[in-house]
Homo-oligomer: A and B are copies of this chain.
Amino acid sequence: MTYCVGLLVDRGLVFMSDTRTNAGVDNISVVSKMKTWEVAGDRFLCLLSAGNLATTQAAIALLDERSIAPSERQPAILTQPTMFQTAKLVGETLREVICGGAMAGQMADSVFSGSFILGGQIKGSAPRLFLIYPEGNFIEAGSDTPFFQTGEHKYGRPIIIRTYDRAMSLEDCAKLLLVSFDSTIRSNLSVGPPIDMQFYDTDSLAAGYRQRFDLRDPYYTAISEGWSDALKSAFDQLPAFVRT
């Protein structure tokens, strides 16, 4: 499994992804699920992967035109006029990989499926955030649902639902998502550190701050330990139950 979140706020976008991949609990690896593209002053894109690693890596390699000599590459993902067209290209590429595998003799199996969260901004438009399905279609985050999660989303969802506010700073988003990730990592072995985080500041049209947190990171430790204490004091604040 995996846990990825893309969060849209007024000041920009925050992306976070774990790095655990596994082929059974006895075969785990660390692989980044976060890919970014930047044409400074023109666009910034961030893609978070979930699902079968061979599928999502193949789709990203195609988007990067890695089948062409490096000197001849002009990736179409960097030249789409809008984020909508970019999401369409990513979805078509993902579907192509999944269908290509099926036609090459693979048994139809959801194990070879995948999905993406895509966010970013292209000059002339606002930042946008999409969830792209294995079928190649996609949905966009709006004011009603301003974030997307993929993978093991259940453990870490309540805290996002209760705390999210679109006026939040990107720093507060980082704090919120680290709490959400820590709750997930404590509950589910298929989600694991280190955690990759990427900021995008609205209208910067360039990659924002990026950090990788491992379990020894002082800020991550402060959040993980502090949250247990903070929750206990929040719990104590609630009115006591009385048998009637």
A233 to B233, CA, bound (A): 10
Contacts A154-B155, A171-B241, A241-B219; A233 near B231 (Cβ below 8 A): no
Question: Is A216 at the interface (CB under 8 A from chain B)?
Answer: no
Interface positions of A from 148 to 178, Cβ below 8 Å from B: 152, 154-159, 161-163, 171-172, 174-176, 178
Each complex incorporates copies of this chain amounting to 2
Of A17-25, A96-104, A139-147, A222-230, the one touching chain B:
A222-230
Which residues of chain B are within 8 angstroms of A231 by Cβ–Cβ distance? 159, 162-163, 231, 234
Which residues of chain B are within 8 angstroms of A117 by Cβ–Cβ distance? none
A61 to B241, CA, bound (A): 33
B161 A186 Cβ-Cβ under 8 A: yes
Question: Is A179 at the interface (CB under 8 A from chain B)?
Answer: yes
Which residues of chain B are within 8 angstroms of A124 by Cβ–Cβ distance? none
Question: Is A110 at the interface (CB under 8 A from chain B)?
Answer: no
Main SS at interface, chain A: helix
Q: Which of A155, A174, A183, A238 neighbours the largest number of chain B CB atoms within 10 Å of its CB?
A: A238
A75 to B5, CA, bound (A): 52
B159 A157 Cβ-Cβ under 8 A: no
B230 A234 Cβ-Cβ under 8 A: yes
Which residues of chain B are within 8 angstroms of A67 by Cβ–Cβ distance? none
B154 A235 Cβ-Cβ under 8 A: no
Which residues of chain B are within 8 angstroms of A211 by Cβ–Cβ distance? 243-244
Question: Please, what's the 1-or-0 string for A192-216, where 1 marks a CB less than 8 Å from any CB in chain B?
Answer: 0000000100000000010100000
Question: Is A237 at the interface (CB under 8 A from chain B)?
Answer: yes
A170 to B239, CA, bound (A): 14
